Amino acid sequence: MSPTLLAAVSGLGLGLSLIIAIGAQNAFVLRQGLRVEHVAAVVGVCLVSDVLLITAGTAGAGALVSRAPELLTAVCFGGAAFLLAYGVMAARRAARPATLVTEEAGRRAGLLVTVTTCLALTWLNPHVYLDTVVLLGSLASTWDGQRWWFAGGAALGSAVWFIGLGYGARLLRPVFARPTAWRVLDAGIAVVMVSLAVSLAVRGARAG
């Protein structure tokens, strides 16, 4: 295998391993995919954001972020507050099955609200910076002349994952035809969001 292809495959493998873990962004994409609601916009926002972050990390922004603990602290606390609020919203949906039925049957969130939420879940989440910019960017630098092939492989991994998750989620719609399934999903999302919020607050306190 040529060094160029090896770099691209390594980037693809690392990109997938970092992005597949259940998190705030993935939970949101899954929910939108199940609702078949603004899926293209959500997938597009996630993919473009990932490409920008991967590019920044490969270009050397990872080293800059790691040297600015005060910036990391501010982002951690801001992200924790947002994730906690979103987790509370998911918990409220899970606690009100009647609301779930009404929401899933007819009411749709507007495109602007959906895109804004997706942007916030992506750019206000310090885990995204730590994984994509710092970790992936640091590893990309070890590939020297092939680092952009490594970054390209990681970007391809993001495209495969987000497109598959966003458009593949509809295959599970028969399961989510029952309000109970939505209740379980939203309860799980609430747990994920609150857990991430707590971990970010702890990380921010340590960084400070």
Alpha-carbon distance 132 to 152, whole Å? 13
Among the listed residues 188, 181, 158, 193, the one whose alpha carbon sits nearest the alpha carbon of residue 34: 181
- Structure token pair of residue 127: 């885990």
Q: What are the pLDDT digits (tens) for 129-140? A: 777 877 777 777
pLDDT for the residue numbered 95? 82
Alpha-carbon distance 30 to 14, whole Å? 21
Q: What are the pLDDT digits (tens) for 9-59? A: 877 876 776 676 657 788 889 889 988 899 999 999 999 999 999 998 888
Query: Reduced to 3 states, what is the DSSP secondary structure of residue 2?
Result: coil
Query: Reduced to 3 states, what is the DSSP secondary structure of residue 178?
Result: coil
Alpha-carbon distance 16 to 25, whole Å? 14
In one letter, which amino acid is 26?
N
Among the listed residues 125, 143, 105, 145, the one whose alpha carbon sits nearest the alpha carbon of residue 50: 125
pLDDT reading at 100 higher than 60:
no
Among the listed residues 107, 102, 136, 121, the one whose alpha carbon sits nearest the alpha carbon of residue 189: 121
In one letter, which amino acid is 107?
R
Per cent of the chain over pLDDT 90 is 22
pLDDT for the residue numbered 207? 62
Over residues 167-190, the mean pLDDT reads 82
In one letter, which amino acid is 87?
G
Over residues 182-202, the mean pLDDT reads 79
Phi, psi (degrees; rounded to nearest 5) at 175:
-70, -40
- Structure token pair of residue 102: 């009404």
Over residues 94-122, the mean pLDDT reads 72
DSSP summary character for residue 133: I
Over residues 169-192, the mean pLDDT reads 81
Q: What is the mean pLDDT of the chain?
A: 79
DSSP string, 96-117: -HHHHHHHHHT----HHHHHHH
Alpha-carbon distance 14 to 81, whole Å? 29
Rounded to the nearest angstrom, the gap between the alpha carbon of residue 102 and the centroid of all alpha carbons in its chain is 27
Among the listed residues 125, 136, 115, 127, the one whose alpha carbon sits nearest the alpha carbon of residue 16: 136
Confidence of residue 103 (pLDDT cuts 50, 70, 90): very low
Buried/exposed 122-133: b ≥16 CB within 10 Å, e otherwise: bbbbbbbbbbbb
pLDDT for the residue numbered 99? 43
pLDDT reading at 65 higher than 50:
yes
